Amino acid sequence: MGRPSYALQCVVPLTRGYMLNLKFTRLTVIEEVGKYKSGDKIYKCRCDCGGIKSVLSGNLKKGNTKSCGCLKKEKSSEFWSNFNLRHGKTKTKLWKTWSGILDRTTCVTNFAYHRYGGAGIGIFEGWKVFEVFAEYMGEPPTKTHSVDRIDGSKGYFPGNVRWATKREQAENRKTTVFVEVDGEMMTLTRAAKKIGVSKSTASRWNTNGVFKNGYKTRNST
């Protein structure tokens, strides 16, 4: 029986700054800024477009992160432009509304991404195609209407969006109080008008539990 063979392995120790100045697609490592809870190092990188992004070393090495987000945006923009331009609606309010929603929910470089996509407010996958979104929403009733999320904690999904005026959207804020009148849920302001009392009276009634089990007007059946 011959001697067992062993593969010769050469382990090269890595210095603390070995990643600095290395380039991964569009990202150049400029500084180590910390560690993730898994132990993976976090590097600040400068993108070819000038943007700055902090990335896990593992994502750089595996090619999971290739830019500050501009590459994805360029590819997405090119794809949707080729796909959607045939309808001739790129200058309409409907298109601009859809484009804005798509951008702030999917593009990490959008100035409002941290309040939408970054906060878990997403968009229905099918609505990434303009025609599908347009078929569901239809044209806005007036120039002053804009898309409103009925439940502000959820994203842009069927059943959670509508065309609404600024007043309707203001009534739908997280701080808005809803009560039940004649079997219908409505804002406290609208309830006060329906019942025929002042808003302060309706607010006092709500505090005292008048609306707890629903309120029925004299005209209700």
Domain spans of the chain, in order of start: 23-67, 71-170, 177-207
Gap between the Cα atoms of 141 and 153, Å rounded: 25
CA distances from 83 to 88, 105, 156, 211 (A): 11, 19, 21, 51
The pTM score is: 0.45
In the chain, the percentage of residues whose pLDDT exceeds 70 is: 81
- Give the residues across from 43 on adjacent strands: 32, 55
Give Cα 47 distance to the centre of its chain: 23
Between strands 146-149 and 41-47, the pairing is unpaired
40-97 per-position pLDDT tens digit: 899 999 998 888 889 998 889 888 888 888 877 766 655 555 555 556 677 889 999 9
CA distances from 6 to 1, 3, 82, 190 (A): 15, 9, 56, 81
Q: Could you tell me which residue, 144 or 152, shows the higher pLDDT?
A: 144
For 213, the 3-state DSSP assignment is coil
